[in-house]
Amino acid sequence: MKFLKKIFRFLLNLVHLIKQSSPNIQPQTLDDNYVDWYLKYIYSWPGNFNNQENEPKQKKIKILFLVPWLEVGGADKVNLDLISKLNQDDYEIHLFTTLPSKHPWYNKFSDHVSNIIHLDQLQKIKSISDFTLNYIAENKIKLIQISNTQLGYQLLRTIKKYMPFIKVVDLLHMEEPYYPFDYFRYSKKYHKHIDHRVVITEYLKDVLFKKNNVCAEKITVIPNGIAMGKEYSSLHYVSKNNQRVITVAFVGRMEEQKQPLLFIEIAREIIKQSANAKFVMIGEGSLLSKVNSLISSLDLVEYIKVHDAKTNVMDFLEKEVHILLAPSIREGLPVIGLEAMSLGIPIVATDVPGWSDLIVHNETGFISNKDDLAYYCKLLIDDKFLREKFSRKAYKLAFERYNLDKTVEKYKEIYINQLKN
């Protein structure tokens, strides 16, 4: 039966290839589609590539980043932090996006890169492939870093076919086995075109090793980093910790993965027992209207305030927030958690990979099943001394383990080692 399905899929794709000499890019699925088949069986690059291996050594390492968009989000923040820390005297960064977007962080990225190209504007995969190969050749790109982009992975086979000496590094943020856009699963078929794999936790390294059969030597764990610009004594936490009313925050996309509706239910449970707690939600997404409706229907408008994603999150966290509450279903290594810890803010979160990698239970915060989140959150609300104890330990852990400068050095080491080989 499986063999017949493969034959049927092959014939189906062949029909579409005959109908379209160059198909449009298709960002709505991670399954095999006509772009894969076109690049594998039909596409031919009309240009030529001089072997860069024997050219004089460049003063700068030229890297092309392939990303889906320049949105407000954790994965984009990781890319931005890394790119901004790569010394422009030593690195020349180019960036391609692959999906339609308004790219709200365009200006943030443009300050640190030589060029930004939006591949989706070219529409046809032949035009995209021709442009990408020509660009790499003309700009003497040495290394490609890819993250969370279907089209980026699809282009790797073509890039490696015509430019085998280009090195490729990919960054995987989170395993999502029950979600269509699971890049752990999707990247498996492109593994031979990827020279090195980066994951953000030991758990994810184990997944890549056991499920995708990637040899351990090709995998490096680099946790997301956070800029640690202040000493603990200069943070606002100790002074605001004396406030009578304690602010509990949800910060993230208003999507099922982050469970914003569960946050509201937990807040309602706590409000019934505590008069000294208020709640804030920061973010946007498909569940935003349901969030506002639920708050209104439960008569919690006085207690739960909703802010959009334009809010300066770090500034708000530092000045207003005492506890971060995160009832997520799953995570990679949450950037908002690192940001909170860098400001000495204790976290209460679900016991799922990502949060369990970040939080030391009963030392820097609490991790638990969803039914006990309200209980642990109330422990912190009611105990000023416990909050300060967790605050100091959270900051210390962030400084020692997740300092952005250390993170960037690990990426540089990978780049240098790959280009030596």
Q: Residues with Cβ < 8 Å from 231, sequence gap 6 or more?
A: none
pLDDT tens for each residue of 205-237:
999 999 889 999 999 999 999 988 778 988 989
- Identify whether 12 is part of a domain: no
Mean pLDDT of 123-138: 95
Comparing 6-10, 41-45, 249-253, 318-322, the range with the smallest average pLDDT is 6-10
- In this predicted model, which residue has the larger pLDDT, 375 or 34? 375
Q: Name the percent of the chain lying above pLDDT 90.
A: 76
Mean pLDDT of 154-177: 94
pLDDT at 310 over 90: no
Comparing 177-191, 241-255, 397-411, the range with the smallest average pLDDT is 177-191
pLDDT at 76 over 50: yes
pTM check: above 0.75: yes
- Identify whether 396 is part of a domain: yes
Q: Are 416 and 374 contained in the same domain? A: no
Mean pLDDT of 130-137: 97
Mean pLDDT of 106-132: 95
Q: Give the separation between CA 39 and CA 189, rounded to whole angstroms.
A: 14
Q: Which pLDDT band holds residue 164 (cuts at 50, 70, 90)? A: very high
The pLDDT value recorded for residue 401 is: 94
Q: Are 344 and 414 contained in the same domain? A: no
| Torsion, CA 396, CA 402, CA 405, CA 406, rounded to 10 | 110
Q: Are 32 and 174 contained in the same domain? A: yes
- Residue 362 region, left (φ>0) first, then alpha (ψ -120 to 50), else beta? left
Mean pLDDT of 7-28: 52
- Identify whether 1 is part of a domain: no
Q: Are 139 and 97 contained in the same domain? A: yes
- Residue 139 region, left (φ>0) first, then alpha (ψ -120 to 50), else beta? alpha
Q: Match 């039966």 to its residue by tokens.
A: 1
Task: Please provide the average confidence, as pLDDT, over all residues in the chain.
Answer: 90
- In this predicted model, which residue has the larger pLDDT, 410 or 310? 410
Q: Are 103 and 202 contained in the same domain? A: yes
> Total domain count for the chain?
2
The pLDDT value recorded for residue 230 is: 73
Q: Residues with Cβ < 8 Å from 87, sequence gap 6 or more?
A: none
C-beta of residue 150 within 8 angstroms of C-beta of residue 98 = yes
Cα torsion angle, 367, 371, 372, 375, sign: positive
Q: Are strands 304-307 and 277-282 parallel, antiparallel or unpaired?
A: parallel
pLDDT at 299 over 80: yes
pLDDT at 18 over 50: no
- Identify whether 328 is part of a domain: yes
Q: Are 76 and 201 contained in the same domain? A: yes
pLDDT at 148 over 60: yes
Q: Are 290 and 393 contained in the same domain? A: yes
- Identify whether 13 is part of a domain: no
pLDDT at 118 over 90: yes
The pLDDT value recorded for residue 11 is: 56
Comparing 83-92, 347-356, 382-391, the range with the smallest average pLDDT is 83-92
Q: Are 319 and 258 contained in the same domain? A: yes
Q: Are 355 and 239 contained in the same domain? A: yes
- How buried is residue 29: exposed, middle or buried, by Cβ count under 10 Å (0-12/13-18/19+)? exposed
H/E element holding 389?
helix 384-401
- Identify whether 271 is part of a domain: yes
Q: Are 304 and 409 contained in the same domain? A: no
Q: Are 82 and 176 contained in the same domain? A: yes
- Residue 213 region, left (φ>0) first, then alpha (ψ -120 to 50), else beta? left
CB atoms < 10 A from the CB of 323, how many?
25
The pLDDT value recorded for residue 208 is: 93
By residue range, what is the domain housing residue 279? 232-401
Complete edge-to-edge strand list for the sheet that includes strand 304-307:
304-307, 277-282, 246-251, 323-326, 347-350, 365-368
Kindly report the CATH number assigned to the domain that includes residue 82.
Answer: 3.40.50.2000
C-beta of residue 85 within 8 angstroms of C-beta of residue 408 = yes
- Identify whether 53 is part of a domain: no
- Identify whether 112 is part of a domain: yes
Q: Are 187 and 244 contained in the same domain? A: no
